[in-house]
Amino acid sequence: MTRLILFNKPYDVLSQFTDKSTENPRLTLSPFVTVQGVYPAGRLDRDSEGLMVLTDDGKLQARIADPANRMEKTYLVQIEGDPSEADLAPLRAGVQLKDGMTLPARARLIDPPTLWDRDPPVRFRKSVPDRWIELVIREGRNRQVRRMTAAIGLPTLRLVRWMVGPFSVHGLAPGQWREVEVPDELMPRNPAYVRPKTQAPRHKPRAPRPSRT
């Protein structure tokens, strides 16, 4: 039976079970997720928080993590600045990054969400205001959200992944996980019907032409 785990990754935790660094070992998923045989379906930056999805099914892992499937990911982003709705238009149209243009995202200003306290707290500049936005993307580039907000002059201060597809981190405190059932839309699909190959009919050999004498 397929296992599917939703985990609220705390700040400063690697999104993997081991750390190859021997001099300064960093905190990993191991102390939090004790289920054997599950692996992350996608990564979440060390300095980001929120939802990670883990499973023991390789095909399901690929369906969730593969950017080609364009599964939506919803982020709550605290940014430095005080933008208007119009200032978010570039995010909705696509932002030019060093590795190419992003797909159009959904972006809107939101009230400060009710979240857990971050440890350590976010450092603010008293002279600069901050706002929260909800950003929904369908890609998975390295540090994409941070690069997108920076590209329009709104540096990210705090980044929380709230949803991945139909899954939400709601109700989970940092470091907690819960096991859920695989939704019907993510269940393995019936293999497509493949028409059996038929052998092409053989052409009858042509009768030899009579030789001219």
24: buried, middle or exposed (CB in 10 Å: 19+, 13-18, 0-12)? exposed
Mean pLDDT to the nearest integer, 156-175: 97
Residue 204 has pLDDT above 50, yes or no: no
Q: How many domains does the chain have?
A: 2
Question: Where residue 21 falls among pLDDT bands split at 50, 70, 90?
Answer: confident
Residue 34 resides in a domain: yes
pLDDT at 68: 81
What's CA 44's distance to the chain center, in Å? 8
Asked if 122 and 158 sit in the same domain, the reply is yes
- Whether 178 is in a domain gets the answer yes
The pLDDT-based confidence of 209 (bands split at 50, 70, 90) is: low
Q: Which residue is it, tokens 């919803």?
A: 74
Q: What rounded mean pLDDT belongs to the chain?
A: 88
Q: How confident is the model at residue 91 (pLDDT cuts 50, 70, 90)?
A: very high
Strand partners, 54: 5, 40
Rounded CA-CA distance 39/53 in Å is: 8
Q: Clarify whether residues 27 and 103 are in a common domain.
A: no
CATH number of the domain that 24 lies in? 3.30.70.580
How far apart CA 133 and CA 124 sit, in angstroms, is 17
| Same domain, yes or no: 92 and 36 | no
Query: Do the domain assignments include residue 149?
Result: yes
Instruction: For the chain, give the percent of residues with pLDDT over 70.
Output: 87
In a domain, 205, yes or no: no
- Considering the domain architecture, whether residues 92 and 46 belong to the same structural domain is answered as no
Q: Within a domain: residue 190?
A: no
Q: Which of 78, 58, 68 is nearest to 139 (CA)?
A: 68
Residue pair 181/4 in contact (Cβ under 8 Å)? The answer is yes
The answer to whether 49 and 118 have CB atoms below 8 angstroms apart is yes
Distance between CA atoms of residues 8 and 49, nearest Å? 7
Phi (first) and psi of residue 5, to 5 degrees: -120, 135
Q: CATH no. for residue 154? A: 3.30.70.1560
Give catalytic residues, as residue numbers. 45
Are 145 and 77 a contacting pair, CB within 8 Å? Answer: yes
CB 130 within 8 A of CB 79: yes
pTM of the model: 0.85
What does the alpha-carbon distance between residue 30 and residue 27 come to, in Å, rounded to a whole number? 8
Residue 111: give the domain boundaries.
Answer: 72-164
Looking at 30-44, 62-76, 87-101, 191-205, which range is the least confident one? 191-205
Highest mean pLDDT out of 173-177, 185-189, 206-210: 173-177
Quote the distance between the C-alpha of residue 158 and its chain's center: 17
Q: Using 50, 70 and 90 to split pLDDT, how confident is the model at 23?
A: confident
Q: What is the pLDDT of residue 25?
A: 83
Q: What is the pLDDT of residues 116-163, one digit of tens each?
A: 999 999 988 888 999 999 999 999 889 999 999 999 999 999 999 999
Establish if 192 belongs to a structural domain. Answer: no
Average pLDDT over residues 58-81: 92
